[in-house]
Structures are given as structure tokens and as C-alpha cells.
A and B are shown apart, each in its own frame.
Chain A
Amino acid sequence: MTPAEILAARARALAVIPDPEAARADRRMIVATIGAQDYGFPLAQVHRIVPLGRITRLPHAPPLVAGLASLAGILGLVFDARVWRDLPPSPLGPKLPVLMIGPTSRPLALVVDAVVRYADVPADLTAPGPAGSWLVGLTAERVLVVDDEVLAADPAFSLALGDLS
């Protein structure tokens, strides 16, 4: 696709009149892979994705804590999503993506295996999760939609980024 085609497509997209139903449906999510499973994190609560970079492991820390790192200028703990999902610890590397979830002042840093795409959160989840759980539901594409706020409020993730600053 040439830049001209991209600009033309963009013009066509901007020329479309917004649909109220579509606005409702404008809930998008970041689809990340943890182990062999895709998880959808709603965009409204994911405010940044950064590469892990250098990380310092902490002695006597719980397995969920991957280590201490400086992400986008904020020093804080990074949690291992694989341990959260009862999987073997992630082989940490500088290029692994870290989802920064929750409020901007105290985001939760969660290192995942990969961020594959972003997609719309369908209105009708095929398997909605239990109330109060971090699991919102399951899409037709077998993506587990996560409630970021509930997840960030989990006591296991009590120390968020910025708490050490």
C-alpha cells in the first residue's frame, strides 16, 4: 500500500458519519499472549506498552514479581503474567512487551509474552465471567477479556509502578 492509498483510505474513514451503535461498540482491546492463551486488555485502561529493557531481580521477592525496572521514566516493580496465570516464569528479555495498566499515576506493569494486535471487544461475550472477577468474558475468537481495574486492584499486585518513587 502506497502512502497515497493510505491517505485516501484515511480520508474515506474520516468522511464516514459516526454511528451511535458503533460508538457503543467502540470498546477496543489490546490482545496479548500469555503462554498459549490470548488475553484482551481494554484500551481504556491500558495507557502504554513499552519494552521491558533492563530489569533487576529482587532477592526473596515472591515469584509473581519479575523484578525492578525503570519503564518510561517510572521506577517500579514488574509482574510476570505467566506466574499470574500459574505458568512457568517468563524467560525475561529486553524486548518483551510490558503492559502498563490502570491509573497513570500508579500503573500496573505486567510483562507478557507478546502483544499481537488490538481488536474490538464484542458486545456479546460468549462466556461472561463471574461478577467481581477480573475475567469479563470470552470472545468468539477465544480471547479472555480482562477487567483491568479489577486486576489492578488485586492485592497480589499491591505495589504498582511509582510506589517506590
Chain B
Amino acid sequence: MTITKKITLGFALPIAVLLAVGGLFRSVTTRLEDTASWVDHSNQITDLVQQTLTRMVDAETGARAFFLVGKEEFLEPYLGAQADVTRLVDEAGRLSVDNPEQHGRLERLRTTLVQRLNIVATAIDARRKAPFDDATAVATLAAGKVAMDAVRTDLGTIRETELGLLAKRRAAASDSAENAQLALVVALAIGILLSMLSSYLIARSVIGPLAVVREGVDRIGGGDLEYRIVIGNRDELGQLAAAFNAMAGNRSKAEAEIVKRSDERARVLERVGEIASRLAASAGELQATTASQASGAQQQSAAVVQTSAQAAERAHTVAEVARQAVEAGEAGHESLDSATATMTRARDQANRVAESILSLAEQAQSIEEIIASVDDLSEQSNMLALNAAIEAARAGEQGRGFAVVANEMKALAEGSKAATVQVRRILGTIQKQSNQAVMMTEASTRGLGEAAVAATAVGSTMRTLNEAIATAAQSVGQIAASARQQSGGLQQINQAMRDVSAVATQNLATTRQVGEAARDLSELGSSLKEIFAELPVGRGDGRA
């Protein structure tokens, strides 16, 4: 449990106890108010009963005086009581509705009072008509006394009963007040005990581990980086201890890294000293090398100029070839477009030729029918010629000339027959060749279609090729421009090489200075090594 939760719980317990005490106090207060209300209720009824008795006594006294004297002014108390008695008894009856027994007594009292007042009223009327004699006066007064005694007794009973209830209610109120006081005292005592207990527990769970953390922080701060704070808490103190432990671990690693780097620095300084010594030795060699570089730079300058000229010339040649390739590609593409169009037209023409050949084949079929008719006619002619010859033979010598005609007819029929045979043979040859022509045309059309498709593909390829050639030509142009720029650059390099030669000459002098500086550097390395050796290296005080 976290410290926040513990503190929250420690405050929550007393607050809960206070809330319980408050609730109890409110309950006791409510009960006391109820008891006081009932006491007031009983007092009101008692007071009303007392007022009723007073009014009735006044009414009886006034009436008796009127009976004795006969003066109307003595009836004033009676008349006032006659108006108030009924109201007072009704109000007392309304207040005693909760007590059926008391309410019944009041109802009966009201009836008795009304009857008594009516009797008195009757007597008053009689007295007004004539003065009472002694006997009537005594009887009337005696009856009034008896009636008033009964009324007084009833009112006394009611009053005593109500006073008894009042005493009980006051005793109950006193008991409630005592109980409430006791409950409040007990609740406050429990609240105080709970508050003390929660404070003790919170302090115990926080203060102890806090002291452990404080001790650990002191030790780690004192340089004991291997010390670790060990507490079992899982709250903020536990997290704080873990953070301190992690910090101590990181600090320990950093110290080790600092020591390691200090050693490496010492080794580097030693290495610097050695290199400075070697540098001094190499400075002499560098002088000779620098002189050689100067002469080499001059030779390279001449070679660079020659290479630059050759590169520019070759770039120009390549650019020209690329331009010719672009032109050839464009011409080839135009030729291919023309060839594609020509093949398309040839395919259309081949289609039309195929249609014409098919029409020709159909017409040849018609010719075949005509030949069949001619053949039939020739056979009939032949048969007619034979019959003519028969008739000529029958005619004998007179039919000789007719026989010649028949013979000629037969020759014509045979000639027609032979001609039809020959025409049929030729027609067969035509049909065969037309079929072959149709098939060849079909194959040609198909071939032209495929060729057109292939030409279209070739066109696409050539278009791509042209684009590639154009791109290549553009690239070649850029290369030529670059070559020209390179030529200029090489000129600059040439100038730079000359500058290098001059600088190399200067380097000779500088190299001597470098040798001297190397020696100074070696001495400086030794001094640094000594200085670093004297420095503390992060042990004990926690600083590097």
C-alpha cells in the first residue's frame, strides 16, 4: 500500500467515526424534539380542560345569581361560557385524537355540558317568566350543583389522565437524553482511539523505512557506492530506495569507466609521444617526397591536358553518333508506320480478293450447272443425230444427203460433248485453283494481320527504342557538356598541379618546421602524461 493510501485511510477512519457520531446526535435530537412536542401537546389539553372548567363555573355562578335575583346582567358569564365551552371541548377532542380513551371522555363530557347548558337555558326562560318560589329555587340550585359536581369530576379525570401522560413523556425524554449523551461519549472515545491507532500505524510504516533510506543515502553520499538500501516496502519509499540503488550502480559504472578512460588516455599520450618521434623522423623523408611530388605534378599536368583534349574529341564524336542514331530511329519509325499502313491496306485488299474469288467460285458452280445442261443437250443432239442417221438409212439413197447432215450433227454433238468435258476439266481446275487461292488469300490475310500486329509491336518497340535513343542522345549531349566542363576542370587541375608544385616547394620549408613541432609535441605528451598521473581518478570523493 502506498503512503498516499495509508494517509488517506488514516484520515478517513476518524472522519467516518465523526460522521457516525453526527448521525447518532441527529437521531437523539429528533427523538427529543418529538418528546417535547408530546409534552406541549399534553399541556395544551390540560390547559383547555382547565379553561372549560372555569367557563362552566362562571356560567353556573351567573345562572344561579339570575335565578335568585332575576337581573339580566348576571347572565353575562353564562352567555360567554355558552359560546366558549363547546369550542374548547372540541379543540381538546381534536388534540386527543391519538388517544381513543381520552377522546371518548371528551366526547361524553361535551354531551354532558351541552345537556347542562340546555337545562340551565330552560330554567332561565322559566325564571324570566316568573320568579321561583323557594322550593323551586332550592331544587333548581341543588340539581345544578349535582350537575356541576359531575362535570367537575369528569374534567378532573381528564386532566389527571393527561397529567399522567405528561409525566410519562417527560420521563421518556429524560431517558432519551441520557442515552444520547452516553452514545455520544462512547462514539467520541472510539473515534479518538481509532485516530490514535491509525496515526501510530502510519508513522510506524513510514518512519522506520524512512530512517533506513536516510542511512543508505548518507552512506552512498559518503562514497560507498557498493552499498544498497534494503527495505521491504512497495510504496513510494520502496521506489525511492530502488532509485537510490540504481543511481549508486550507475555511479559505480561511471567511476569504473572514468578510471578505464584515464588509463587509455595515458596510453594515448604515450602513443602520441612515439608518433611525434616518428613524425620528426618522417619529416625528412617528407621533404624528399615533396620534391618528387613537385616534379610529378608537372608531368601529371601535361598528361591531364592531353587526356582532356582526347575526352572532349571523343565526347563530340559520340554526340554526333547519337544524333545520327536518333535520326535513324525516327526514320525507321516512319518507315515502320508506312509499312504497317501498307500491310493494313494489303490485308484489306486480300480480303476483297478473297471475296472476289469466292464469288468466282460461286459463279463457277453456276457454270457447272450450265455445262451439265450443255452436256445434256449434246447427248440429246447425239441421240437425235443417231435417229436422223437411222431415218436417213431407212430412206435409202434419197436419205444419203440427210445422212451426211446427221453425221455432221453427230460430229457437232460429239464436239459439244468433248467441249463440255474440256470445259468441265478446265472448270474443275479453276475451282481447285480458286479454292487454293482462297486458302492462300486467307493465309495471306492471316499472315498480314499477324504481320500488322507484329509491326505494331515493332512500332511500339521502335518508339520505346527511339525514346531510349533520344534519352541516350540527351545523356551523350550532357556527357559531352560534362566532358567540356571536365576539360575546363582539367585545365583547372593543371593549374592546381602547378600550384601543387609550388606548394610542394613551400612544403619543404614547412616540413622542417613540422619536424621541430613534432619534437615539441613529444615533449608536450610527456608533460601531459605526468600531469594526468598526478590527477586523482574518481575514487573516494566520488569525482573524476
A contacts, CB < 8 Å to B = 1, 6, 9-10, 13-14, 18, 23, 28, 30, 43-44, 46-51, 95, 97, 115, 117-118
Contacts and interface: CB of A to CB of B under 8 A. Distances in A.
Contacts of A97: 383
B117 interface: no
Contacts of B408: 1, 6, 9-10
Contacts, number: 51
Nearest to A95: B379
Contacts of A47: 390, 394
A14 B386 contact: no
B405 A10 contact: yes
Given A49-B390, A115-B386, A118-B386, A10 B379 contact: no
Nearest to A5: B408
Contacts of A51: 380, 383
B389 interface: yes
Given A9-B408, A47-B394, A115 B389 contact: no
A77 to B, nearest CB: 21
Contacts of B405: 10
A44 B395 CA distance: 10
B375 to A, nearest CB: 10
Given A28-B393, A49-B387, A95-B379, 15 more contacts: A10-B401, A10-B405, A13-B404, A23-B397, A28-B389, A30-B386, A43-B390, A43-B393, A44-B393, A48-B390, A95-B376, A97-B383, A115-B382, A115-B383, A118-B410
Nearest to B414: A117
Interface in B399-455: 400-401, 404-405, 408, 410-411
Nearest to A27: B393
Contacts of A118: 386, 389, 410
Contacts of B376: 95
A14 B404 CA distance: 9
A7 to B, nearest CB: 10
Contacts of A23: 397
A13 B387 CA distance: 20
Contacts of A9: 404, 408
B371 to A, nearest CB: 15
Given A51-B383, A115-B383, A13 B390 contact: no
Point out which of B386, B397, B405 has the most chain A C-beta atoms below 10 A from its C-beta: B386
Contacts of A1: 408, 411
A44 B394 contact: yes
B386 A49 contact: yes
B401 A49 contact: no
A44 B392 CA distance: 10
Contacts of A14: 400-401, 404
10 tightest CB-CB pairs across the interface, nearest first? Answer: A43-B393, A13-B404, A49-B386, A14-B401, A10-B404, A6-B408, A118-B389, A43-B390, A49-B383, A28-B393
